[in-house]
Structure 1
Amino acid sequence: MVRAVAVDAGVQSGIFDRVVGFFSHVSRPSFEGISSYQFRRVDPSLLSDFMPWRLCLVEAHAHEIGNRVRDARLLLGDDCHLIALIFGDGDAGRVVEALDAGADDALLHPDEGAISTALLKGERFAAKLDRLEMRVREAELTRAAGQLALDNLPTPIFFKNREGIYTWCNKAFEAFLGLSAQAIIGKSVFEISPPELARVYHDADEALMQEGGTQIYDAEVNCATTGRRKVTFHKAATVDTQSRRVVGLAGAMLDVTDRSELEKKLKTAAECDPLTGAFNRRKFFELAHHAERQHVTSGIPFCTLVLDVDHFKQVNDSHGHACGDEVLCQLSDFLRAGAKTGDIVARAGGEEFYCLIHGQDLEQSLKCGEYIRRLVDEHEFIYEGKLVPMTVSIGLAEHRADEPVSETIRRADKALYIAKDSGRNRVCGD
């Protein structure tokens, strides 16, 4: 809707005689004249208060038109539709001069019909401009509402351009890094993160922006309050709707440190003996089956070792169950510390332990078992300052290609009982 039409000087009749005023819209403009507008005078000093003006008639003699148009444009701003009315000794060159000076339309020696037509075109232009401005305002309100919503989300969120430069982030992202938006926006990851972490982020960003789509991965991030945290990045490439080219990315970080720690604890609880920290029986057989498959495919030998603490009941009876538990823990630590890469140590139950010796045949494993027996025999197990004598009996069996692991364990267990029946503190093989 056109709300006002400014007039700088009078029309050709000279009625307004160089007085700045405006036309109020009374009815729809017609080609019969400008009678659909009612003229009102206004103090030129108040022009800055008339922001809604959309149309302006600038009347001047040909030799003045350029300056008059420039003055009007400076006074009313870029949004006003300026129509230059050129009188006197003028030609087409003056029309070009008026347009170059900032007029949107220029009329040479116009009559009322030409002026009315120009006003009608200007009104339509102003109406389109109003609609455009309304859409812009609505878009700005939508963007502001979206930014406010993102700022209030507890999840750290950020945007980057195609060069990997941060273009926006929310308050949660600022708080997580301990940096202000001013310190983040316009920077790359290499400017705000440690080099070893920045390289991970950069490589992931490049892969995403080259391939498009979405991306999820885990990484560490320096948190301002708690140091390095494990996070899951959720990212998506942003694509220009016209060119269909990737122009940047949007990302969010989910702190999974606590969840990861819980997962580790649950995994440990499921796989390890709660007393000694060694693998439990179930996990031992899982790993042993893997060694069995390796033996079938590559021929790598392995042996199973069953170890039992001699006279463990006497340890409990003489020193108490707390002492027995402590001795088992020390023995477990002792065995795991001496294990080679690929070897497996597990507590089978009670005072019995299983070991899987990787890459050795029975002859080599018997030497290994004897080494363990001797070390345990010579080691001083201490509880509350007192020496607790301890020896172990060990049975060994080499895995055969035509038997399951459970059978190999059974044969090692059989060899263990031979060792016990032979006087304990010794090693036997099957």
Structure 2
Amino acid sequence: MSHSPVHSMPATATAQGGSNVRALVIITILFFMWGMLTSLNDVLIPHLKSVYTLTYVQAMLVQFCFFGAYFVVSLPAGGLVRRIGYQRGAVAGLVIASTGCALFYPAASSGYGLFLLALFVLASGITILQVAANPFVTLIGDPRTASSRLNLTQAFNSLGTTVGPLFGGLLILGGVALVSEAELAAMTEVERAAHRAAEVATVQTPYLMLAGALLLLAVVFAFARLPRVEHAAAASGPDSGPSLLSRRNLVLGAVAIFLYVGAEVSIGSFLVSFLSEPDVAGLDHATAANYVAYYWGLAMVGRFLGFAVMRKVSPGLVLGISAGGAILLILFTLLGSGRAVMWAILAVGLFNSIMFPTIFSIALHGLGARTGQGSGVLCMAIVGGAVVPFAQGYLADNVGLQPSFVVPMLCYGFILYFGLRYARVFLGDPARP
């Protein structure tokens, strides 16, 4: 799930080719790790919902705390990285993310509130990490190949989002024997409490493993001999030129980012519960988590296809077609039943693949020296991942889970408009869209 706050901070890099390759290998592992941690939420949500008997809206607090961190931490993270540098910024992000994972251990015996705090701390670390790592990738080698390097690392981010649900399904959802409602009702209060404690404790070992892995990466990153990247003077002051709000492509792009991230995260958040519905696939949660990997895996495949297609077709047109495909699949999901509906909602992942980077690129087109400021605006719009799932959760609680998918469908409706509006704009054109 590559929602990467790239704050453009002009800089220069000095290094030998060997150290560049070593740096790229280490950073690629970071991209994989934060992709995995982000998609683990799709497994964590149904698990905590079951353990604490939450409504869908209450369960969506997981995404609210996680993606709310992007909104709160993104701009301060940019200032931190400017002060301490890219390498130390990445180390700080890793240590904070590791702390968030470690907090899952006491949260298992303290309640839902500490889980939410742990998720906010974890996401804060990931936000700092992304603010440091994304521009670092573009600056550690030949500028002409910066895009290909970032695409490579983003592909491993997608691999992480694909592996995350498999990891969580095996170690979290598969960690306790399934108990039917009848068996649960027949238990004494003491037995039910013991079963609930065993269920919630399944998160401890996986997240402690992740905490250890992140801490090890922090140590490796801290002592690695990486290329030195130095900041250059800003090309333009913060108040120079017309207001950013006068750039319609940026304003509409920020709305599109908000709705896209919201739709993508919302669908992923409800997949395990939806695939467990008797009228859909009737899967147990552990099995359903394995199918969630298809949702993210198709997004990874779509990135490679999109890269090839957009060499010949305007990005806006590809975006519009992708949004139209997502709308048709969700419409089928709303009206159909059975396993066909399951595959339809999973296939939305394929159409999601090119949306975030394409919206980002169109929104920043023509900003010149103010691209960094525009990027910051778009990064804050990622808070859609905290807000839109709440709207779907409210509908799921009051109307039903299947009808609630109308919320992401409406989000894709705006993205369809945005894509078609700029369908004739090629990003290589100097003209402002």
| TM-score band w.r.t. shorter chain | under 0.3
TM-score, normalization by structure 2: 0.18
- Structure number with greater Rg is 1
In terms of fraction of residues, the more helix-rich structure is 2
TM-score, normalization by structure 1: 0.18
